[in-house]
Amino acid sequence: MEEFYKRKLPHIQPKGATLFVTFRLAGSLPQTVIEQLRAEREAEVQAATTDEARYLAERQYFGRFDEQLHQSGGPHYLKQPALAQLVADSLHYRDQTVYRLDAFTILSNHTHVVFAPLQKDVNPDGTPQYHKLSKIMQSLKRHTANECNKLLGRQGTFWQAESYDHIVRDTAEWERIIRYVLNNPVKAGLVSEWWKWPYTYCRSD
């Protein structure tokens, strides 16, 4: 059985899957921009006649979404090294206990991460039970929001409730997504080489 949950977008977590997740600061995009992006996505997905066309539509949607984040005039709290490091440490903390952490990069208003939730238990029927994406993100965002708000001396919502997540289909896609994540700071003009960005990580084994 797959985990299925829904807020504004459907989320499906096949057991044993590797996931690409992007989460962003609250207020990092205006509601009008979000609604326009979703309307474009919906129209393109509905117009698609094959699974591959729908997949391409999703990729194009995410590309526009990420580009808007790079151009955003909203909050950029994660420009502060202490806050970016706090998020990085929290991502590492869960590695090998809750998930296998493959890669991440932390930008000023959003974070990209690739991980594979680990087996948590065994169901009564003998099938494996994995850590749920929803629980992972709730825990991660709650902890980092509380700690970042303390450092900022502020109260209120820190992360946007909704995250973007995508199931990695195969090894080729995994490699493409890892390259995308690592090169995000390069694309943003922050560094000339991905390894020069201090808040980027890639599993070496």
- Full domain range(s) for residue 53: 29-71
Domain identity same for 49 and 80: no
Q: Which residues contact 106 (CB under 8 A, 6 or more apart)?
A: 78, 84, 87, 88, 199, 200
Yes or no: say if 19 and 167 are a contact pair by the CB < 8 Å rule: yes
The number of folded domains in the chain is 2
Chain segment 141-164, per-residue pLDDT in tens: 999 999 999 999 999 999 999 899
Beta pairing partners, 200: 105
Domain identity same for 140 and 103: yes
Domain identity same for 24 and 44: no
Residue 178 placed within a domain: yes
- The residues of the chain scoring below 50 in pLDDT are 1-10
Beta pairing partners, 166: 20
Domain identity same for 109 and 198: yes
The stretches of 26-170 forming alpha helices (DSSP H) are 31-47, 51-70, 81-93, 133-152
pLDDT for the residue 205: 78
Q: Which token pair is 53?
A: 């066309």
